Structure 1
Amino acid sequence: MDLAVGTGLDTGAGTGVGAGQGGYTPFVRVTGPGGEQLPWVLVRAPVVTRAHHLRLAALARAGVRFAGVTSHLGFPGPPWRDERDYGLLCEAWLHCFRDPEHFLPPDGPRLLTSESDFTDPLRVDPARLAVGAVGAAGAGTEGAAGPDIVHVSGREPWRQEAKNWPLAARCLRRLARETGLRILVVDAPAGVEPICGVRMVGPLPWRRLLAVIAGARALFVPAVIDASPRVLAEALCLDVPVVVNRAILGGWQYVNPFTGVFFDGEDDAVAAVRAVLDARQRPRAWFAAHHGPARAGARVLRLLSALDDSLPGSLTHVLLTPDQGPGTR
């Protein structure tokens, strides 16, 4: 899950799932296209706080049925969950993994679909943004020259691990030294050693972050433990190609000749960036043709309908929205 920076997500109705450190909920409501609640909730992260345990119990008493969605690091693999048996709780799984048997409970249907698949190209649209560079203190400067390469990191230690800052720093150092490209790190880790030729700024509001990415030539994604990297999907919607760590848990399914390239480590990062900058790609057209709320929601609806014949036959797709119950915000 990409918590990105600021809010990190477009949390408008029908676009996907909002998440932030201050208002995070592990529960995601499945709704109809008009926002009508359906009797399904997705569990996307360990249920660890007392408030979330109480909310889970309340949802169960209300007759809600549960499915899982892989959104938080390697959840529900053993290193990334609590003591709860999520195989018993969740009847099905939406997942992002190449090798789901290493992470998911052994039983129940599975669907290769991520929260980030619901990113909406109609809302994440470069034509709707004031594209420009990042000025002093992270402020935008419309019309000024933007970076060639953008990497979105994180200040907190857990986020640095998720975004793989150690590898990012090594790769960006070589990129700056060997290519002379303009490189920007957004939400740079606090207190890290400066990298010659790499500009670092703090967190940006979500729309400002989109504008900065839209003005770049590529997004650099060295993450491994990232299950639903929304910033990757957003870059594709902004028609910006991506350079992605081949070992990433989720988001690998977005990388193809139309959208970007993989790299394996420090030694081939420069070559991968050069390759993506030299290629003629159409990431926005590819993403819109394969993902977005209607397409992802139709896939999820087919999965849930096979388990629940009470779902309205008139539905064409479902949407995902954060659960707003007591104790979740």
Structure 2
Amino acid sequence: MILDFAKLFTLQCALLSKSMDFNYELNLNVIFIDVPSIQMGYEGFNWFSEQENNIKMIETFDQSFNMVQGMHRTRAVFQGFSRDNIVVYYERDMYSKAHIVNIMEQLQQDYLKNNVRLRLYFGTSKPGQTLQSLIDSYWKLKPKDITFSGSIEAIVDYELNYLFEMFRQWRVKQEVKKHFGFTSKNIMEFKNEFLELLKMPPKKDFFVYLWADDCPKCKEVYQFYNDLADNLKDVSSVHVAQTDMTASIFWGIWPYGLPYCRFYVHTITNNFEYVYEQYTIEAYLKFLKKKSTNFSKYLIDQKKRKAFPPTLEQIERDWHVRHCVNLEKNPKMLMDHLRYWNPDYESIVELVVQEEKYRKSDGYNIYVTDTYEGITLGQPFFRIVRKTSGNNVGVILVGQPLASQDKRDNFLMLAKSGQMIMGIQSYRNYPHFSRWEDDSDSSIQSLRERWQKEYFKNFAGWLHNMDEPHKHWNSQLPRLNFAESDLQFSMVKAFWPDNFNASDPKIYDLALTHTGNTSWHMDVKNWTLATKCIDKMLESGKYTFKLLGRKPPEEYEDKFPYIEFAPFKEFLGYVGQAEILLITSMSDASPRILTQALALNVAVILNKHIYGGKKYINEQTGSLIETEDDLFEAIEDIKRRRREGILQPRKWFEQYSELIHQKLEVFTEMIRKEQGWDLDINGYREDITTMI
């Protein structure tokens, strides 16, 4: 950790600057540390360098710290810490401090014109410490792919100027900003110089998270403070901020461990207290409730809004603010208006998701709604949540017919509670009636009933899987071609973070997935076609295969391997053992196992007549078949494409999934705004008070 490194040398005060110089775009701290010798012999470090003039490396390392035997004494070695600090090592008897000060003073004049303040420090390695031991104290913690390190030929003006310019370019790279930054747009940044003044913005309370470079414990709670900032974004008088304390450690004014969190309350000036609560949103909100009058006032205001929502008269009075606008003078609102005439939102969502605020967002996800206010729900109710935090966003999806009275009662309860209701195709051919499905599934019968259509009138929009939705929907409700199967890349990645290929090389030519062995499962998964394919493969003996999800009937006993049931991660492992996954289903909305296989780099052979999922099949991912007679040709064609480098299931699906969670967010928030759910008296307002 950086604090351990700082203990190995003695630091002097800053030169060329004052502690309250925090108004510059960059305060660049340059720490010159003298060491007994700059030569290190054959010791090397597995470390990457950005510097083009440091091409010499130890031959035994592909990447090193660019140290070579007999390196000239005039050279100096440098290392960046965080985005504001550079340590420069030089040989003790080679350069005087006066020489370095003179150069830095000259450079300072030029850099001030560019809104950059140079801070000069001198340090000396403590007795017994060498360049080797100093570097050893921190190099293992450095991220080798983005570190800023290397050496310069000499401590002269043009070499230092080059070094500083390279550092300024490095610190604004996206991967560097991402590594040292915070993802939430709601978290503020305080310079450590500003923090030392204890003069916080008036009338506001602040959580300030203190962290430093090379601090593993700091990284562990980054996401918590991102989530905390997002949860408090509507509380205008309470903010979350972060401060990089790396420079303070170098100054010698922060000799403590990290991370810490300070709380500054506006009622007490020039003071703060440390927060030692658990890293949960609930714990920090309870802390605020005790300590912050600003937050208490916010809670009171929220209760008043709930007790006194806008009246009908107020809504009627203010409706023109949104609706009475000259669209000819507002192209964006004209585009929004035209969307009402085109219920298919794929193109407009594709455009809007490119906006910066959505590209930076984590997006939304879909979960089954287990309970709501103590009432057990489960299928057919899903909820849309924030992908990272899992917080509800006030939207319920209905994915099956409301065939029983308790499901209809729960639907009405959710609607009355102010949830925005949308439909999602996730069960057979729902919401469309199919005579064939009706014969084997009693719940399908309700789709013919008038009362079921009355419930559909409460839906704000649809997520569907149909190739030609205009032939199946006579409604102008907004709709998006989107399924739960679209969201499976991040799910698979969570279970296989280090190795997407569950088995490489593959063990089987083909895996056949057929979960469940009831008559209902056999209808939905099309066991008839599955057995014909099995018979064909057994007869030829040409391909190896495994059945996943059920025990085969007696006539197939001991003829091929199978697995009945396995935990999700283990099941993915079995899928990954095959080169190809065969899905014979027809009465299936869009099987998640299809895209889970693609994420594992497994090609898919899919029934041509399946209701949903054909959009995933192309030259890079698999093939469609109609009968068992098409199977062998499809297998051979897939094997050929894989050999030729054409077939790349995971690569295709990863690109497809790049902004998929954000697309769900865009569509949801479009519907919310267009239908007034953000203003309606029962509409959605993200309410953190329910978490306390």
- Alignment partner, residue 98 of structure 1: 467
Q: Residues 78-135 of structure 1: CA distance to partner in whole angstroms, max 9, x if unpaired? A: 2336231153122211111113245445331111111110112522538457946xxx
Aligned counterparts of 1:90 and 1:298: Cα–Cα separation in 2: 21
**TM-score calculated relative to the size of structure 1:** 0.77
Alignment of 1:137-148 (within 5 A): 146-148=507-509
Q: 1:145 to 1:270 in 2, by over 3 A?
A: closer
Q: Residues 243-271 of structure 1: CA distance to partner in whole angstroms, max 9, x if unpaired? A: 11111111101101111111121111111
Gaps of at least 5 residues in structure 2 are 1-363, 371-375, 435-443, 679-692
- Alignment partner, residue 49 of structure 1: 404
The answer to whether the 8 Å contact 1:126/1:211 transfers is no
Alignment of 1:300-311 (within 5 A): 300-309=664-673
Higher mean alpha-carbon deviation, 279-288 vs 198-207, is at: 198-207
Q: Which amino acid aligns with 2:410?
A: R
- Alignment partner, residue 112 of structure 1: 481
Matched, 1:291 2:646: no
Secondary structure of 2:457's aligned partner: helix
Q: 1:102 to 1:159 in 2, by over 3 A?
A: farther
Aligned counterparts of 2:616 and 2:604: Cα–Cα separation in 1: 9
**Structure with a larger share of its residues in helix:** 2
Match of 1:72 among 396, 408, 427: 427
Match of 2:511 among 146, 150, 158: 150
Which of the two has higher C-alpha Rg?
Answer: 2
- Alignment partner, residue 167 of structure 1: 529
Structure 1 residue 195 displacement after superposition: 7.2
Q: Which amino acid aligns with 1:95?
A: H
The answer to whether the 8 Å contact 1:70/1:95 transfers is yes
Secondary structure of 1:217's aligned partner: strand
Q: 1:304 to 1:162 in 2, by over 3 A?
A: same
Q: Which has the higher contact order (CA 8 A, sep 6+)?
A: 1
Secondary structure of 1:204's aligned partner: coil
Q: 1:218 to 1:16 in 2, by over 3 A?
A: farther
Secondary structure of 2:605's aligned partner: strand
Q: Which amino acid aligns with 2:420?
A: R
Q: Residues 252-296 of structure 1: CA distance to partner in whole angstroms, max 9, x if unpaired? A: 01101111111121111111112112222111111111126xx22
Match of 1:88 among 446, 457, 466: 457
Alignment of 1:139-288 (within 5 A): 146-153=507-514, 154-188=516-550, 191=553, 193-194=555-556, 197-280=559-642, 281-288=647-654
Aligned counterparts of 1:274 and 1:227: Cα–Cα separation in 2: 28
Gaps of at least 5 residues in structure 1 are 1-13, 133-142, 313-329
Aligned counterparts of 1:15 and 1:41: Cα–Cα separation in 2: 12
Higher mean alpha-carbon deviation, 194-203 vs 300-309, is at: 194-203
The answer to whether the 8 Å contact 2:369/2:378 transfers is yes
The answer to whether the 8 Å contact 1:162/1:225 transfers is yes
- Alignment partner, residue 257 of structure 2: none
Aligned counterparts of 2:671 and 2:501: Cα–Cα separation in 1: 45
**TM-score calculated relative to the size of structure 2:** 0.38
Aligned counterparts of 2:665 and 2:629: Cα–Cα separation in 1: 43
Secondary structure of 2:654's aligned partner: helix
Aligned residues: 286
Aligned counterparts of 1:23 and 1:67: Cα–Cα separation in 2: 16
Secondary structure of 1:279's aligned partner: helix
Q: Residues 14-36 of structure 1: CA distance to partner in whole angstroms, max 9, x if unpaired? A: 7644599x984111111223222
- Alignment partner, residue 60 of structure 1: 415
Q: 1:27 to 1:81 in 2, by over 3 A?
A: farther
